[in-house]
């Protein structure tokens, strides 16, 4: 198992364009989380999936943001009509079954987005 992977690692786009990021969790993990991290700050929660169901969304997740996990494996996060304020690191994390060490979230390397 190689851990959580994210693609692309870097993305530069122009304001108003749409972007999509992908996250592949640790294979046996059924929980998947998206966070956003701006420079010099801690990550902030965006949304959470258990299997294919999106169970929680932060109010940070505006209407321009959408996330999916169609088969309960990989997930995508799409930002429509990007704004300069969307520039950040987008982190994905996964965790296993509830309770014990399996509740620990393991993070991917992140996708760094720059909106010009």
Partner 1 sequence: AQTVTQSQPEMSVQEAETVTLSCTYDTSESNYYLFWYKQPPSRQMILVIRQEAYKQQNATENRFSVNFQKAAKSFSLKISDSQLGDTAMYFCAFMHNQAGTALIFGKGTTLSVSS
- Distance in Å, CB of 109 to partner 1, minimum: 4
What tokens appear for 11 in the block? 């993305």
- Distance in Å, CB of 9 to partner 1, minimum: 10
- Distance in Å, CB of 102 to partner 1, minimum: 10
Residue with tokens 């991290």: 37
Tally of CA atoms within 13 A in the half-sphere of 57 that contains its CB: 12
Pick the closer one to partner 1 by CB: 77 or 93. 93
Which residues does 47 contact at the CB level (< 8 Å), separation at least 6? 33, 34, 54, 56, 57, 58, 61, 67, 77
Which residues does 51 contact at the CB level (< 8 Å), separation at least 6? 30, 69, 72
Pick the closer one to partner 1 by CB: 40 or 70. 40
- Distance in Å, CB of 14 to partner 1, minimum: 24
Pick the closer one to partner 1 by CB: 18 or 51. 51
Pick the closer one to partner 1 by CB: 43 or 115. 43
Residue ranges binding partner 1 (CB under 8 A): 31, 33, 35, 40-45, 48, 50, 55-56, 58, 91, 93, 98-99, 101, 103-110
Longest CA–CA separation in the chain, Å: 44
């Amino acid at each position: 198992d190689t851990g959580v992977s994210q693609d692309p690692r870097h993305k530069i786009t122009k304001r108003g364009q749409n972007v999509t990021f992908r996250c592949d969790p640790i294979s046996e993990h059924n929980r998947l989380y998206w966070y956003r991290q701006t420079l010099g700050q801690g990550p902030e929660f965006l949304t959470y999936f258990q299997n294919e169901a999106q169970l929680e969304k932060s109010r940070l997740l505006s209407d321009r943001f959408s996330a999916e996990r169609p088969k309960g494996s990989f997930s995508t996060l799409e930002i429509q009509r990007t704004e300069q304020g969307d520039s950040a690191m987008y982190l994905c994390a996964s965790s296993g079954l509830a309770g014990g060490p399996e509740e620990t979230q393991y993070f991917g390397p992140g996708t760094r987005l720059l909106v010009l």
